[in-house]
Amino acid sequence: MTIKPLIILPDPVLRQLSKPVETVDADVRRLADDMLDTMYDAPGIGLAAIQIGIPRQILVIDVSKDGEEKQPLVFINPKVLTTSDEPSVYEEGCLSIPDYYAEVERPAEITVEYIDLEGKKLTAKVDGLLATCLQHEIDHLNGVLFIDHISKLKREMVIRKFTKAAKTRGAKAI
C-alpha cells in the first residue's frame, strides 16, 4: 500500500496529455493499486494517474456510498463513444483543487470503451454519479480540469487563489 503525493493546481503537470497504456502488466496493476490507496486516503471518488504525476491513461473510481462495501473500478485507455443529449448538473470537486466545488453540466449518460486490469477490452453504458465522475477523470487525461467548464471569471479567481497558496508553500520551504 503506497499513498502517493497529489499534484495540486496550478502545477503545469496537470495540463499534460496522458499516453495510452500499451500492455496491462504488473507495473500497471501496482500503479492502479497505489492510485486506489491514494484516492481512498484523500478521500475522493476518482483519481487519474496524472494527479500523482504519471502521464498514463489510467483512472480509478469508487462511487459507492459511505458505509457501503467498496466498489473499486479501474479504467485503462478509456474513450467516450457516445453521449446523451440530456444533461446532468453536479457539484464537482477535485483532489488537485482541494476544498473548491462548483456546478458543472455534462451529458447525463455516456457509453465508454476501456481496458480492464486483465487487459480485456470492454464497453459500458453508465449514468448518474459514475457518468459524471468518468467524464471528469477522462478530462484529466487530456489536461482538462473541471474548472475549465465554469465561467472564466470563477476559473481565474480559483487559479489566482491556488497560485498564491503555492507561493506561500514555496516560501515556507526555503
Dihedral of CA 119/120/123/127: which sign? Answer: negative
Q: Based on CB atoms, which residue is closest to Ni ion, 74 or 94?
A: 94
**Cell numbers at residue 12, please?**
503545469
**Residue 10, preceding peptide bond in cis (omega within 30° of 0):** yes
Nearer residue to Ni ion within complex by CB, 17 or 27: 17
Verify binding: residue 94, Ni ion, rule CB under 5 A.
Answer: yes
Amino acid at 122: L
* CA neighbor of 99 nearest in space, from 174, 42, 27, 25: 42
Residue 8 interacting with Ni ion (CB under 5 A): no
Residue nearest to Ni ion (CB): 94
Stretch that binds Ni ion, among 20-28, 92-100, 106-114, 156-164 (CB under 5 A): 92-100
Nearer CB in complex with Ni ion: 28/133: 133
Q: Kindly state the number of chain residues that form the binding site for Ni ion, as judged by CB under 5 A.
A: 1
Binding to Ni ion in span 14-43, by CB under 5 A: none
- Give all strands (DSSP E) within 11-160, no chain letters: 46-48, 58-61, 73-83, 87-94, 97-107, 109-115, 121-127
137 is catalytic: yes
60 binds Ni ion (CB under 5 A): no
Nearest-approach distance from CB 94 to Ni ion, in angstroms: 3
Residue 123 or 129 with smaller CB distance to Ni ion: 129
Dihedral angle sign, alpha carbons of residues 24, 28, 49, 38: positive
Which residues share a beta bridge with 90? 104
Minimum Å distance from CB 63 to Ni ion? 14
- In the complex, the residues that contact Ni ion under the rule CB under 5 A are 94
